Chains A and B, each alone.
Chain A
C-alpha cells in the first residue's frame, strides 16, 4: 500500500509536469525515490517500534502528504509563471521547503514512536501538557502583533524569517491533558443532580471545567481572532467530555454555550460578523471580503465532476490556494471525484483512529485516541465545510495537504500517537483472536471476556 501511495504521488507529479511543459519532469525519479525512502523509513520504524499498529494509517497519510507536495509544487509553477508574465521576480518555491518539513515530520513521527513506547506513560504528564499547551496557545496573544499577526489572525510566532503556528502543537498537548484530566475526574463530572427536560444536569460547581474551557476558547477567539482554532478546541473538549462521562447533557450544555458564544461573537466582533455575512451573501462581497471564498467556489465549479486535470486549471487565482484553500485546488484540478476520494481518505484515517480508541483497553488511551481522531476529523470538517460554503469560513489548515510546517509536523506526531494506541489495541498477547480485524472501519464491538 505504501508503494502504491508513492506511485500515485509520482504519477501525479509526472502529470503536472506533462500538462505544463509536455514533457516528463526529469527529476521525477529522484523525487519519488526521496519520498519513497522517507516513507519506507517511517514504515520500518512502525514495524519495529509499534509492530501491531494499524497497517492502513501510514499509507493513507503518505498518500495525502505526497499529494499535498505535488499540489504545492503545481501552485509554485503557476506563481512563477504569473511572476514572469508580470515581469516580477519569481518567488521562492514552497514545495522544496514543504519536503524538508515532511522529512522533519517523519523524523518527529519516529521520535514520538521511540520516546512514547507506551501511550499510558503520557498520562503522567497531564498537567505538564496542560501548562505547555496553554503557554503555546497564548504566546501569540501576548506577543506584539508584528511577531504574531498574519492576515489578521494572531496565531503565529514569527522569529526572523521563520514562522510557526503554536496552535497545532498545543492541540495535541491539550488533547493529552483533557484525556488525563477526564480519566481522573470522570466520576465527579458524571455526577448529575437534577433531571431537566429529560437530561441529567450536573451540579453547578461541577460545571467549572467546561466553563473554563469555553472561556479559554472564547479568549482565543477574541484575542487571536481565530475562529477555527477556537471552534476546534471547544469541539474536541466537548466530544472527549462526552466520551468520558457518557452524559449527553454535556453535549447539550456544550452546544448551548457554543450557540451563546457564537451569537455574542457575531454581535460583538466585526471579524466574526464579516465571516458570517460573507458566508450568507458571498456575491454581495464579491470583490472584497468574499473574494477568496467566491474564487474558491468558482474553482470548484470549474473542476466539475472530473476536474480540469493536474496543471490544467487555474487554482492559483484563489488566494491562499496552498494553505487554507488547498481544498479548492483539489476540487478544481482533480474534480469532484478527486475531492471525494481525498475526503474518504480523511474519513478512513479518522475512523481508524477512533477504532484504535475502541480497541484499546485503558480509559486514558481510549480518550486520547478519541480526542486525536475526532480533532483530526473536526479540523477537516471545519476547513472543507468552510471552503465549500457549508459553514462560515475559518482559517485552518487541511491536515497533510496544506502548506505549512507546523501543521504538517504536528499531524505526523498525531498519527504517531494514534499508531501507538492502535498497536496497543491490537497486541495479540493481550487481546483476543483478531479475526478479520481491520476490514471494516467500525466493526461491531467484540464480545470480550474479563481477563
Chain B
C-alpha cells in the first residue's frame, strides 16, 4: 500500500467506504424500482390472478352490474346484511346457467361472470371516468350492465327441448352471428353456489362435481363431439366448391364401401343401399344421408381439400364469444381410410355444438361466416350505452352459388329426407341430421343442424343430444334432435 493511497487523515478507508455507500444506494434504488414494478406494472395482472381472493372480497362489497336478457336481469346483485354486502341472484338460474355461470367467493366466477368480470364489477377501463366521478361525489362505485343477444323464447324452447337429457343447443342469427340461444343440459342452479355460506356452497359444488352427468360442463362450447352425418354438409360444400360436381352429379354409392389400405369396409345406416344401389346423385345422397357416397366423395376430394374446407368453416380455431369456445378438430394429414371416415363425420372429427351452428349459419348466410357473439351491448351503471356489438365476418367458406345449392339440398333433407321432424308448417326449413357413432356399445349421438326460413334465414340452430338421449340404439338425429331444432326455430320466428 503506497503512501499516496492514503487520505490526508491517515485513514485509508474513505474510498472503499464511499463505494459501500454507493452499493447501498444502488441497492435501495433497485428496491424502489422493484416496488414500482410490482405495484404499478404487475398490479393489474396480480389483481386479476385467480389465486387472488382479496379482490373477490372487495368486489362483493359493491353492487355488481346485471346480466340482461330481453329486458330482464338473469343475474343481479341484491343488498344483504352480512359482511359481503351484496348477494348475486339468478332469477331463472338453470335456464341461463350455461351463459351466466356462477359467482362464488369460494370457487371464483365462471361463465360470463368471469369473462366480463371487470365490467360487471366496475373495474373495467371503460368505466374509469364514471369511477372517478363516483369517487369525487362519494357515491358507491357500481358495475356496468351486460346486455345479451339471447332470445328468451328461443332459450326457453332450447332448454325445454333438451328436457334434462345430456346435450346442447346453440341458435345463431346467421346474418350477424348473434347467439340467440345457448343451452347445455343438464343444467344447474347457480344460486346455491353464489350464496355467502361457505359450507353450503361447498356442499352444493361437491354435489355438482360428483354428478356423472357433469352439469357444470358447458356442452355447447366446451365439449367436442363427432358430428356424424351432419358433417356431410362440409363434404358436400367441398365437392361443390371443387367445380367437379353439381348436386345432380352421380357418384358411386355402393351398399358397402371397401376402405383402401385396410380390410375394413364402411356401410350405410341399417345396411340400406342408396339410389339405385350403385350410384346416386349428391343431392339425394344428402337427403337420405348415404354414408358410402360421401365417404367416396371424401376419398376422391382428398385429405387436403377436406381439411381446407373444414378450416374455412372455422374448425381448428378457438373463439371468444366472450366465453371461451373450445377449438373444433379436423384430423391433420389423415390417410385415405381416415379421410373416408372423416368425410361422414367419424374418425377424429370433433366439433362443438356452437361450431355446428356456425357451419349451418354460414350456409344460411349465403356462404359468409359471421363471428358468433353473446354480448349485444355494454351499459354503464347509469344505463348509458358504452359499447354496441358490431358483427364481423370471419370468412367465406363457400361461394353464394354453392351456399344456395347446399340450401336447396338441405331443404330436401327436411322436406322428404331424414330431417322431416324439423318441418314447420308454412315455412321452408333447411337442415341436416347426424347420428354419430362414438364408442362401441354406446348409443350414437343425435345431431341436427338447420335454419329457417330457407329463402331468407333468420335463425340457424344446432342441436346435440348425447347418446341419443337414451332412446336406444335406433335413436337418430332425425328423431331425437330435429324436433328440438324445430321448436327453437319456431320460437325465434314467432317472436
Contacts and interface: CB of A to CB of B under 8 A. Distances in A.
Given A304-B39, A442-B21, A287 B51 contact: yes
A85 B32 CA distance: 37
Given A305-B40, A317-B54, A347-B25, A283 B15 contact: no
Given A302-B47, A445-B7, A450-B10, A242 B34 contact: no
B20 A301 contact: no
Interface string B38-74: 1110111011010111110110000000000000000
A390 interface: yes
A298 B13 CA distance: 44
Contacts of A384: 31, 35
Interface residues of A, number: 60
A357 B17 CA distance: 8
Given A242-B20, A301-B42, A377 B11 contact: no
B11 A361 contact: yes
B51 A300 contact: no
Q: Which of B5, B7, B39, B83 neighbours the largest number of chain A CB atoms within 10 Å of its CB? A: B39
Interface in A360-413: 361-363, 366-367, 370, 373-374, 377-378, 380-381, 384-385, 388-390
Contact of B13 (A246, A287, A299, A390): A246
A304 B21 contact: no
Interface of B: 1, 5, 7-21, 23-25, 27-28, 30-32, 34-36, 38-40, 42-44, 46-47, 49, 51-55, 57-58, 83
Contact of A363 (B13, B25, B27): B13
Contacts of A346: 28
18 contacts: A85-B83, A243-B13, A246-B1, A298-B49, A298-B51, A300-B43, A300-B46, A301-B47, A331-B39, A339-B39, A351-B21, A351-B25, A362-B11, A363-B11, A363-B13, A377-B28, A390-B30, A390-B34
Contacts of B19: 242
Contacts of B49: 283, 294, 298
Contacts of B42: 297, 301
Contacts of B35: 300, 331, 336, 339-340, 343, 384, 388
A66 interface: no
Contacts of A335: 39
B14 A445 contact: yes
Given A297-B42, A304-B39, A331-B38, 6 more contacts: A298-B55, A300-B43, A343-B35, A347-B28, A358-B14, A445-B18
A30 interface: no
A351 B25 CA distance: 8
A449 interface: yes
Given A300-B38, A304-B40, A336-B39, A361 B17 contact: no
A424 interface: no
Contacts, number: 155
Main secondary structure of the interface of B (DSSP, over half): helix
Nearest to A382: B27
Going nearest first, the 8 A-B pairs with the smallest beta carbon separation are A301-B46, A301-B43, A286-B51, A336-B39, A347-B28, A390-B34, A377-B24, A243-B16
Contacts of A287: 51
A239 B14 CA distance: 13
Contacts of B8: 447-450
Contacts of B10: 450
Nearest to A363: B11
A354 interface: yes
A36 interface: no
Interface string A332-353: 0001100110011011001100
Contact of B46 (A297, A361, A374): A297
Contacts of B16: 242-243, 246
Nearest to A444: B18
A361 B11 CA distance: 7
B24 A301 contact: no
A306 to B, nearest CB: 10
A190 interface: yes
Contact of B31 (A362, A374, A385, A445): A385
A384 B29 CA distance: 12
A314 interface: yes
A134 to B, nearest CB: 25
B436 to A, nearest CB: 39
B24 A304 contact: no
B38 A304 contact: no
A299 B58 CA distance: 12
Given A301-B43, A331-B35, A347-B28, A367 B13 contact: yes
A39 to B, nearest CB: 25
Q: Which of B7, B25, B51 neighbours the largest number of chain A CB atoms within 10 Å of its CB? A: B51
A381 B27 contact: yes
B31 A390 contact: yes
A310 interface: no
B426 to A, nearest CB: 58
Given A301-B42, A354-B24, A381-B27, A336 B36 contact: yes
Nearest to B45: A301
Contacts of A347: 24-25, 28
Contact of B18 (A239, A358, A367, A385): A358
A381 B36 CA distance: 15
A447 B31 CA distance: 33
A390 B30 CA distance: 9
Nearest to A335: B39
B13 A302 contact: no
Interface in A171-196: 190
A208 to B, nearest CB: 21
A366 B13 CA distance: 8
Given A287-B51, A301-B38, A239 B13 contact: no
Interface in A232-258: 239, 242-244, 246
Q: Which of B20, B44, B46, B58 neighbours the largest number of chain A CB atoms within 10 Å of its CB? A: B20
A336 B36 CA distance: 7
